[in-house]
Amino acid sequence: MPKLTIIYGTGSGNTGRMAKAIEEGAKSARVEVTINKVDTANPADIENADAIAIGSATYIKAAMPSVIRYVKAMADQPLKGKVGAAFGSYGWSGEAANEISKLLEDYGMDVINPNLRIKRQPSSEGIEECINLGKQIAEKINK
């Protein structure tokens, strides 16, 4: 089975809810998923992944430093051509997902555009958007 790894940073749980819905969408489309909060994630989580989705909430106009550190450390592994996706919950400006998309693009990844940003706690429509992102990733790596 193709593999998706989801790594996310969340302060109050909203980006975590997004991550779990992306997982649900991908699993429903027969993809193996590894999901980990950035605090407990390690570089091996992305080994053999066909797609990598990175999430972060926006705090003080930026992605969470722990998430940026993880993404920068990913540079040690081959990423070119792999599917990438960025997502995150935000309150008003929502810089985090854009920042992550840019880093993934710089690695030569095939990044899903636009990224997925949801204001505050995802509503049922928001959860549906996340499930659909999981399915969209699955479709790309199931080919």
Ligand X SMILES: Cc1cc2nc3c(=O)[nH]c(=O)nc-3n(C[C@H](O)[C@H](O)[C@H](O)COP(=O)(O)O)c2cc1C
Is residue 91 near ligand X by the rule CB under 6 A?
yes
With CB under 6 A as the contact rule, which of the stretches 24-32, 83-91, 101-109, 135-143 interacts with ligand X?
83-91
**Rounded Cα–Cα distance for residues 24 and 137 (Å):** 12
Q: Is 136 in the site for ligand X (CB under 6 A)?
A: no
Contact (CB, 8 A) for 11 and 119:
no
The upper half-sphere exposure of residue 121, i.e. CA atoms within 13 Å in the direction of its Cβ, equals 4
Query: In this complex, which beta carbon is closest to ligand X, that of residue 118 or of residue 141?
Result: 118
Residue 116 Cβ vs ligand X, minimum distance, rounded to whole Å: 13
Residue 65 sits in the site that holds ligand X (CB under 6 A): no
With CB atoms as reference, the residue minimizing the distance to ligand X is 91
Strand pairing class (51-56; 83-90) = parallel
- 93 touching ligand X, by CB under 6 A: yes
Distances in whole angstroms, Cα of residue 38 to Cα of each of 11, 70, 114: 11, 7, 23
Dihedral of the alpha carbons of 70, 12, 50, 135, in degrees to the nearest 10 = -160
Out of 34, 58, 115, 136, name the contact with ligand X by CB under 6 A.
58
39 contributes a contact to ligand X by CB under 6 A: no
Q: Smaller CB distance to ligand X: residue 60 or 80?
A: 60
Q: What does DSSP say about strands 62-63 and 58-59: parallel, antiparallel, or unpaired?
A: antiparallel
Site residues, ligand X (CB under 6 A): 10-15, 57-61, 89-94, 120
